[in-house]
Amino acid sequence: MDTRPIGVFDSGLGGLTCVKKLMDVLPGEDIIYLGDTGRVPYGGRSRETILKYARQDIAFLRRFDIKAVVAACGTVSTNGLEEIAGDYDIPVFGVADAAAAAAARLTKSGRVGLIGTKASIRSDAYDRKILALRPDTVIVKRACPLFVPLVEEGRIDPHDPVLRLVAEQYLAELRDARVDTLILGCTHYPLIARTVGEIMGPEVRLIDPGAETAQRLKTELARLDAGNPARRGQRRYYVTDSAEDFGRAASLFLEAHVEGDVKRVSLEEKTDE
Ligand code: DGL
């Protein structure tokens, strides 16, 4: 047993889709979440900048005595996370491995769609991971750069006309390509899964990287005998911009009142905790 918290980070609200799944499958775990809201989105940035931000995010989380880090960010997970993971003495998980494994396992036709940020799609990391598991897979992919700003603006209602229009345009070629599985390759996207699902059609299975990663973490913590099963976990949230805005949105997404648990921090300075 290891009662230390798990550190989770993303550029903004997206990583909360992973936190929600972690709360479901590992309810006893304490979670410290960092949303780098002052610098969201990461997805249009260079690999060097993304890695620099990831290191700073992990350094912040390591000010607490955490037992593992989850990069609940598709962009970080596909842009060199594996290269820096070895620099830490605790396990560092990305979200792409578990999602790629789920896609390779679940596709029947072998035609897998992938949507993500520009940086994730450019990286080819998903292609490599899926093809290593299932070499005959055809991967059809599309960057969807407007989805993250729309989600951060709270435009997640399936009837939102702007979201609908943007999603129709982004997803048209994937629908035409007749994929049977679609990886929501950015952790913001499960928040608009209903819209994506309606456009893709009921026969297309959507893969949520945060959900797959939560399951993987559960297995891994059990294997390492590092779980914290005995109690109800606590969650604390840190952001690099307005705590109020984040708290309001996070409460909606997590279906829980988290406003009081959100603090604004600077990644350069030490916190008092
Ligand atoms: N939610 C993140 C991802 O999974 C970050 C998106 C962004 O900041 O552009 O890629």
The CATH code of the domain that includes 100 is 3.40.50.1860
**Residue 186 catalytic?**
yes
Largest CA distance in the chain: 53
Q: Is residue 35 part of a domain?
A: yes
Are 84 and 160 within one domain? no
Measured in Å, residue 119 CA sits from the centre of ligand 1 at 9
pLDDT of 271 reads 47
pLDDT at position 270 is 54
User: Which ligand 1 atom lies nearest to the CA of residue 78?
Assistant: 10
Overall number of domains in the chain: 2
pLDDT at residue number 268: 78
User: Is 144 designated active site?
Assistant: no
Domain boundary among 170, 193, 209: 209
Compute CA 183 distance to the chain's CA centroid, rounded to the nearest angstrom. Answer: 12
Instruction: Tell me if 43 CB under 6 Å of ligand 1.
Output: yes
Same structural domain for residues 30 and 159? Answer: no
Predicted local distance difference test score (pLDDT) of residue 269: 64
Distance 1 CA to ligand 1 centre (A): 32
* Domain assignment present for 273: no
CA of 244 to the centre of ligand 1 (A): 21
**Domain boundaries, position 219:** 6-94+211-264
The CB of 148 under 6 Å from ligand 1? The reply is yes
pLDDT tens for the chain, residues 1 to 273? 999 999 999 999 999 999 999 999 999 999 999 999 999 999 999 999 999 999 999 999 999 999 999 999 999 999 999 999 999 999 999 999 999 999 999 999 999 999 999 999 999 999 999 999 999 999 999 999 999 999 988 899 999 999 999 999 999 999 999 999 999 999 999 999 999 999 999 999 999 999 999 999 999 999 999 999 767 889 999 999 999 999 988 988 888 888 889 999 999 765 444
Q: How far apart are alpha carbons 76 and 71 in whole angstroms? A: 7
Residues 144 and 133 in one domain: yes
**Residue 259 neighbours by CB distance under 10 Å:** 14
Asked if residue 103 and residue 66 are part of one domain, the reply reads no
> Do residue 110 and residue 199 come from a single domain?
yes
Same domain for 107 and 198, yes or no, is yes
Ramachandran class of 66: left when φ > 0, alpha when ψ lies in -120 to 50, beta otherwise: beta
Q: Are residues 118 and 175 in the same domain?
A: yes
pLDDT of residue 50: 98
Residues 77 and 101 in one domain: no
Sequence letter at residue 200: M
DSSP E strands: which ranges in the chain?
6-10, 31-35, 68-71, 92-93, 111-116, 138-143, 181-184, 205-207, 235-239, 262-264
- Report d(CA 34, CA 32) in Å as an integer: 7
> Which residues, in sequence order, are CB contacts of 92 under 8 Å at separation 6+?
58, 68, 69, 71, 81, 84, 85
Distance CA 178, CA 264 (A): 44
Same domain, 135 and 152: yes
Would you state the pLDDT for residue 254? Answer: 87
Domain for residue 1, yes or no? no
Flag whether 106 is in a domain: yes
Q: Are residues 33 and 162 in the same domain?
A: no
3-state DSSP call for residue 55?
Answer: helix
